[in-house]
């Protein structure tokens, strides 16, 4: 008998989960329906950097999950045949304001390099070398280069994953749905029951699970970023991305798109209105390194809503007392790095395969649900 699986939420977790449910062995016994209406989705509004190894965060579970997520990307990109628009390994330049702090970061990176294959090559770069590798910078800082770092466009990433899955066993429904008290899904065609339901609704997970009498402890955070159009000669292709300490990421894409972001606003709820003050701040952050930028070059401003937990950590697993309900969320600002690994592990759970060491990556789901 074909197992009917529903995924509510088509962001980074839901889309990766849908792809693996269409790709892994046993997919011929699975039929997947994904429900998502895109409104405020953090993933599709985001461009980001995959480079967790030099993060200042000291949460061991988070780091283990982020490290595995970064390691997963090359095989996921290959298996799903994703384009360079979605993901490209270009290398990351990480900066520090203080030279001694940068040297300490470099030493930390060299130690990790010895046992972290996905990091690739680690180099200490002076400002002149950073400028050579990122020619669009007018005021280049010194930094640590990690060749395994990558850039990602969330919108292209999820749409390409869902397109691949839809060619096999996925049906995408562009609608917002809700749960009933008995676990059915209210759709435009009426209530429907599924064998397994995966809930990956990000900041709206609290709303999603309320009908089941569950209170998920997540809160929304508004994130805004800007796209700029810059002159990008062909010889500038495949520039690294830059993570400046205490400032906004600088993410150049081939073809003349430069992404700067993103903001972290905790008091805006689910408001998706682009704010002029955020636009000015992001542009000013970029002008620290690229003085020639002007407001006229801003071509777009994207807004999404992230989900945060009280301990700033992601969570995933089966809902207590409802084993046919799986959830994953609380990704915060690292969702593009940690989300795919969560999607992969949830897909393995659907196939009833033994999942090794989930406790290495997340606290029990019961920690995040009343």
Q: Is the peptide bond before 136 cis (omega within 30 degrees of 0)?
A: no
The dihedral region occupied by 11, where left means phi > 0, alpha psi between -120 and 50, and beta the remainder, is beta
CA distance 87 to 172: 23
Quote the distance between the C-alpha of residue 222 and its chain's center: 15
Taking Cα atoms as reference points, which of 140, 147, 18 lies closest to residue 76?
A: 18
**3-44+155-218+311-368 belongs to which homologous superfamily?**
FAD/NAD(P)-binding domain (3.50.50.60)
Are the C-beta atoms of residues 328 and 13 closer than 8 Å to each other? yes
Q: Which residues contact 232 (CB under 8 A, 6 or more apart)?
A: 136, 252, 254, 255, 256, 257
* pLDDT confidence of residue 370: 83
Are the C-beta atoms of residues 331 and 314 closer than 8 Å to each other? yes
Tell me the C-alpha to C-alpha distance, in Å, between residue 24 and each of 99, 151, 157, 171, 195: 47, 26, 19, 17, 19
* pLDDT confidence of residue 38: 78
CA distance 337 to 252: 18
* pLDDT confidence of residue 130: 98
* pLDDT confidence of residue 234: 86
Q: 159 φ, ψ to 5°?
A: -65, -35
* pLDDT confidence of residue 320: 86
Partners of 152 in the β-ladder:
48, 87
Q: What is the greatest pairwise CA distance in the chain?
A: 63
Provide the b/e sequence for 25-41 (b: ≥16 CB within 10 Å).
eebeebbbbbbbeeebb
Q: Are strands 298-309 and 218-229 parallel, antiparallel or unpaired?
A: antiparallel
- Whole-structure pTM value: 0.96
CA distance 155 to 86: 8
What's the Rg (C-alpha) of the chain?
21
pLDDT in tens, the chain (370 residues): 899 999 999 999 999 999 999 999 999 999 999 999 877 788 888 899 999 999 988 899 999 999 999 999 999 999 999 999 999 999 999 999 999 999 999 999 999 999 999 999 999 999 999 999 999 999 999 999 999 999 999 999 999 999 999 999 999 999 999 999 999 999 999 999 999 999 999 999 999 999 999 999 999 999 999 999 999 998 899 999 999 999 999 999 999 999 999 999 999 999 999 999 999 999 999 999 999 999 999 999 999 999 999 999 999 999 988 989 999 999 999 999 999 999 999 999 999 876 667 889 999 999 999 8
* pLDDT confidence of residue 325: 96
* pLDDT confidence of residue 1: 82
- The helix (H) or strand (E) run that includes residue 33 is strand 30-35
Are the C-beta atoms of residues 307 and 330 closer than 8 Å to each other? yes
Task: Considering the domain delimited by 89-150+219-306, tell me its CATH architecture.
Answer: 2-Layer Sandwich (3.30)
* Domain extent listing, the chain: 3-44+155-218+311-368, 89-150+219-306
């Amino acid at each position: 008998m074909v197992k009917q699986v529903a995924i509510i939420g088509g962001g980074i977790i839901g889309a990766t989960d849908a792809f693996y449910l269409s790709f892994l062995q046993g997919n011929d016994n699975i039929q997947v329906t994904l429900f998502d209406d895109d409104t405020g989705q953090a993933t599709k509004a985001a461009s980001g950097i995959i480079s967790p190894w030099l993060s200042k965060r000291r949460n061991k579970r988070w780091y283990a999950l982020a490290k595995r997520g970064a390691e997963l990307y090359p095989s996921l990109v290959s298996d799903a045949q994703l384009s360079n628009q979605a993901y490209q390994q270009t290398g990351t330049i990480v900066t520090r304001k203080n030279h001694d702090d940068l040297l300490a970061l470099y030493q930390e990176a060299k130690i990790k390099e010895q046992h972290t294959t996905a990091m690739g090559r680690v180099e200490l770069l002076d400002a002149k070398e950073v400028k050579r590798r990122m020619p669009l910078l007018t005021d280049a800082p010194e930094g640590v280069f990690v060749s395994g770092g990558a850039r990602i466009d969330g919108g292209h990433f999820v749409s390409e994953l869902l397109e691949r899955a839809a060619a096999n066993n996925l049906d995408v429904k562009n609608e917002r749905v809700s749960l009933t008290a008995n676990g059915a899904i209210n759709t435009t065609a009426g209530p429907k029951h599924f064998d397994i339901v995966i809930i990956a609704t990000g900041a709206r997970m609290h709303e999603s699970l309320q009908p089941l009498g569950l209170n998920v402890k997540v809160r929304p955070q508004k994130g805004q970023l800007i796209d700029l159009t810059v002159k990008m000669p062909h010889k500038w292709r495949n520039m690294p991305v830059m993570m400046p300490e205490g400032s906004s990421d600088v993410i150049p894409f081939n073809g003349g798109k430069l992404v700067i972001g993103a903001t972290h606003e905790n008091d805006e709820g689910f408001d998706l209105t682009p704010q002029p003050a955020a636009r000015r701040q992001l542009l000013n952050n970029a002008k620290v390194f690229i003085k020639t930028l002007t407001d006229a070059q801003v071509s777009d401003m994207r807004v999404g809503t992230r989900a945060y937990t009280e301990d700033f950590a992601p969570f995933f697993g089966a809902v207590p007392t409802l084993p046919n309900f799986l959830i994953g969320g609380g990704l915060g600002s690292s969702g593009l790095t940690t989300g795919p690994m969560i999607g992969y592990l949830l897909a393995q759970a659907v196939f009833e395969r033994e999942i090794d060491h989930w406790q290495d990556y997340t606290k029990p789901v019961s920690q995040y649900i009343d």
